């Protein structure tokens, strides 16, 4: 150490570190707290999407289910590999949803629609499985597919509403004629013939 070095007049390295820590400590603590809060908020939004999709997976036509699906690209980042897998699963599902059979007059419509519905269920399960894995849930695909309660009446109502909507659209766009059949009433009687005038001799 140089002879002219005065330890009392000069700050040591430990003192400098202490001063920096005192000055920057609160700032870094605030920044760290903000980062933690932002992470929690992002995770909460992702969990909200997943929760809605899980709760409505038995009624995929419900507005809540559709809205949650449309939030996936907003809440899951394409820059993170794990979250990118969720977006890819949704992309496959979305592409399939746009490929539903439309021709009700096709003799094979029922078979095509049944196959399309089965594939839709598989895509939905794959999406939920991938999303749950990213968020730390350990659901298996069988549980996601079978472990849901949907009253049969609700499913029938959704299916019938879809048929009615598409049928009305076909009528509006002149793709289908409205069948009309005129039938006579069963109790309708023949009109009675006018009575003959009485013989004038009876007057």
Average pLDDT of adjacent 10-residue blocks, the chain of 203 residues? 50 69 70 74 94 93 94 94 95 95 82 92 96 94 84 64 71 72 64 52 50
Q: Look at residue 26 in the predicted model and tell me its pLDDT.
A: 74
Distances in whole angstroms, Cα of residue 11 to Cα of each of 7, 15, 22, 78, 107: 7, 6, 15, 49, 91
Closest CA to 137 of 35, 46, 36: 46
Tokens 């993170």: give the residue: 80
Measure the CA–CA gap between 60 and 69, rounded to whole angstroms. Answer: 10
CB atoms inside a 10 Å sphere around CB 94 = 15
- CB contact set of 52 (below 8 Å; sequence gap of 6+): 64, 65, 67, 68
What does the domain layout of the chain look like in residue ranges? 13-174
Tokens matching residue 70: 């449309």
Q: Look at residue 179 in the predicted model and tell me its pLDDT.
A: 75
Tell me the whole-structure pTM to 2 decimals: 0.64
Q: Look at residue 196 in the predicted model and tell me its pLDDT.
A: 53
Measure the CA–CA gap between 79 and 48, rounded to whole angstroms. Answer: 21
Q: Look at residue 40 in the predicted model and tell me its pLDDT.
A: 86
Tokens matching residue 45: 């939004």
Measure the CA–CA gap between 128 and 131, rounded to whole angstroms. Answer: 5
Q: Look at residue 90 in the predicted model and tell me its pLDDT.
A: 97
């Amino acid at each position: 150490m140089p002879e002219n070095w005065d330890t009392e007049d000069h700050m040591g390295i430990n003192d400098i570190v202490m001063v920096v820590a005192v000055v920057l400590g609160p700032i870094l603590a605030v920044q760290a707290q903000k980062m933690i809060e932002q992470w929690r908020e992002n995770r909460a939004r992702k969990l909200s999407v997943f929760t809605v999709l899980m709760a409505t997976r038995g009624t995929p036509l419900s507005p809540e289910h559709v809205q949650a699906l449309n939030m996936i690209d907003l809440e899951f980042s394409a820059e993170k590999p794990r979250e990118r897998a969720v977006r890819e699963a949704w992309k496959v599902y979305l592409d399939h949803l746009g490929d539903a059979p439309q021709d009700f007059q096709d003799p094979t419509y029922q078979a095509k629609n049944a196959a399309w519905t089965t594939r839709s269920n598989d895509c939905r399960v794959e999406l939920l499985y991938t999303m749950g894995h990213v968020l730390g849930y350990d659901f298996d695909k069988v549980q996601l597919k079978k472990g849901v309660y949907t009253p049969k009446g609700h499913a029938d109502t959704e299916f019938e509403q879809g048929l009615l909507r598409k049928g009305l659209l076909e009528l509006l766009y002149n793709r289908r004629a409205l069948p009309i059949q005129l039938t006579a009433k069963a109790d309708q009687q023949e009109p009675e013939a006018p009575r003959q005038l009485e013989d004038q001799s009876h007057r």
